[in-house]
Amino acid sequence: MNSTLESVIHQASSIVLGKERVIKLSLACLLAKGHLLIEDVPGVGKTTLAHALAHLLGLEYRRLQFTSDLLPADVIGVSIFDRNSGEFRFHRGPVFSQVLLADEINRATPKAQSALLEAMEERQVSLEGTTHPLPEPFFVIATQNPGFQIGTYPLPESQLDRFLMRVDIGFPDRQAERALLKGEDRRKLLSRMTPVMTPARLSEAQRLAGSIHASDAIYDYCQSLLAYTRSSDRFYHGLSPRAGVGLLNAARAWALIGGRDMVLPEDIQAVLPSVAAHRLQGGTDAETGGESLVRHLIKSVPLP
């Protein structure tokens, strides 16, 4: 299994150059059965990353560009009146895919956003009284532009909590950018690649990640971290229990990727910024961003 995962990472980083850590985090997110939010300025390869992951994992992939006039029906599907038969037929929306890339999710109205997020949470769609289960596996990789631009609807905190991780890609370093400039078009490169995994292999990897051993010391450490965010003045409100569960699952997946059969504090610390930063807000005084808050959190809570 390890070699398979390594090969996924290796191949993905040949597409998204110089971003191995981001790829690993994204992969860990998927192995922990979580949805991923990628936040960065346009053009750094958000879509490519999502595309590459879906392709290499052998998953069916659809892309949905979110706009301000997007309706919930555009996401989850619609019942269309069939003139010939005289009845309504349910047409599945793009959400019925194994990987949905929701591009620029913060451009859509809260209504459309919440339609997607409900589907993410329940892994099914209810429309006109009937329930349509979503395929398994089902991932949403959403991207959003940072900053509060005009005409955007930033995701409310309650919705952000449904994404296991939020990563930012960042600009490539000099060497990687050079290779990017020299190299072929990424899309073409991607289309030539063969999938490394199958959905069956993926669910096996997920199962494996879930069985990674976490000792009492790790549980203690997790709880101390959560307790600190809940009691310290620096944070507007503490991390939710869901965030705690997600943190541990993500750390397990990270340990699996690292080739270990147990969770180490380093694993927690590695995934903590991605898991916690988008859920944390500065307290009453400090208007600090999520990342610096997480750094403060890691430094403040000693290992058990």
Partner 1 sequence: MRLDLNKYLRLVCPQADGALVVSARSIYILPTGFGLVYAVLLLLLLIGSINYANNLGFLLTFFLTALGLIAMVHTWRNLVGLRLRCGRPDPVFSGRTASFPFYIEATGSRLRPDIELLYSHIAIDACDAGPGQENRLNLTLTLSKRGRFVLDRCVVRSRYPLALFRAWTYVQPEVQCLVYPRPLSWTPQALVSAEADPGNGMARRDVSGTDYHGLREYRPGDPLKTIHWKSYAKGQELMALEFETPTASDLWLSWDAVPGPDMESRLGQLCHAVLDAAAGNLRFGLRLPGKTLPADDSPHHVDDCLRALALFGLES
Partner 2 sequence: MSANPRKIPLLDPLQRPLQRYQELRFLVFFGMAASPHLFILDEVFSWTFFALLIYRVIAVFHSRLLPSRPLLLVLTLAFLILFFFRVERILGAQGGISLLLVMAGLKLLEIRRRRDLYFSVLLGFFTVITVFLHEDSPPVALLMLAAVIGMISILVESSRIAGPACRLFDLRQAAILSLQALPIALVLFLLFPRLNAPLWSFNLGEKTARTGLSDSITPGSISQLVLSSEVAFRVLFDGPIPPPRERYWRGPVLWRTDGLNWTRSPQMMAPAQEVPMGLRVADYRIFLQPSENPWLILLDLPASAPDGSVLSRDFQVLTQTPVSALRRYQARSFTSFSPLGIDPMQQRLGLQLPSNVTPRMRALVAGWRSGAASPAQIVQKALVHFNQQPFVYSLRPPLLGNSPIDEFLFETRRGFCEHYATSFTLLMRLAGIPSRLVTGYQGGELNPQGDYLLVRQSDAHAWSEVWLPDRGWVRVDPTGAVAPERIERPLDIDAALGEGESALFVIEGSGLFRAFGRNIRWGLDALNLSWQRWIIGYDQSRQRDFLSHMGLGWVDQRLLSALAFGLAGIVFLILFAYLRRQGRERPDPLAKAYGRFCRRLAGIGISREGHEGPLDFERRVLSKRPDLAPEVAPIIGSYVGLAYGRSSPEGIDRLVKRIDAFWPRRRS
- Per rule CB under 8 A, is residue 264 in the interface with partner 2? yes
> To the nearest whole angstrom, how small is the minimum distance from the Cβ of residue 217 to partner 2?
6
> To the nearest whole angstrom, how small is the minimum distance from the Cβ of residue 296 to partner 2?
11
- Per rule CB under 8 A, is residue 11 in the interface with partner 2? no
Residues 11-70 that bind partner 1 (CB under 8 A): none
- Per rule CB under 8 A, is residue 174 in the interface with partner 2? no
Query: Which long-range CB contacts under 8 A does 222-226 form with residues at least 24 apart?
Result: 222/247, 222/248, 222/268, 224/301, 224/304, 225/268, 225/272, 225/297, 225/301
- Per rule CB under 8 A, is residue 163 in the interface with partner 1? no
The Cα angle at residue 282 between residues 277 and 287, in degrees rounded to 5: 115
Among partner 1, partner 2, none, what binds residue 215 when CB lies within 5 to 8 Å by partner kind? partner 2
Q: Which is nearer to partner 2, 22 or 218 (CB)?
A: 218
Q: Which of 14, 73, 203, 288 binds partner 1 (CB under 8 A)?
A: 73
- Per rule CB under 8 A, is residue 126 in the interface with partner 1? no
Among partner 2, partner 1, none, what binds residue 284 when CB lies within 5 to 8 Å by partner kind? partner 1
Strand-pairing partners, residue 101, are 63, 141
Q: Which stretch binds partner 2 (CB under 8 A): 35-43, 72-80, 170-178, 261-269?
A: 261-269
Query: Which long-range CB contacts under 8 A does 185-191 form with residues at least 24 apart?
Result: 186/15, 186/16, 186/45, 186/48, 187/48, 187/51, 189/14, 189/15, 190/15, 190/48, 190/51, 190/52, 190/55
Contact (CB, 8 A) for 24 and 74: no
> To the nearest whole angstrom, how small is the minimum distance from the Cβ of residue 78 to partner 1?
5
Q: Which is nearer to partner 2, 25 or 169 (CB)?
A: 25
Distance CA 154, CA 135 (A): 28
Distance CA 103, CA 66 (A): 6
Cβ contacts of residue 267 below 8 Å, gap of 6+?
A: 251, 252, 254, 255, 258, 260
Contact (CB, 8 A) for 155 and 105: yes
Q: Which is nearer to partner 2, 140 or 297 (CB)?
A: 297
> How big is the site for partner 1, counted in residues (CB under 8 A)?
22
Q: Which of 217, 237, 259, 289 binds partner 2 (CB under 8 A)?
A: 217
Q: Which of 89, 91, 187, 213 binds partner 2 (CB under 8 A)?
A: 213
Q: Which stretch binds partner 2 (CB under 8 A): 26-34, 107-115, 149-157, 293-301?
A: 293-301
Q: What is the largest CA-CA distance in the chain?
A: 69
Going along 149-217, which residue ranges are E strands?
A: 163-167
Among partner 2, partner 1, none, what binds residue 213 when CB lies within 5 to 8 Å by partner kind? partner 2
- Per rule CB under 8 A, is residue 298 in the interface with partner 2? yes
Q: Which of 99, 119, 218, 243 binds partner 2 (CB under 8 A)?
A: 218
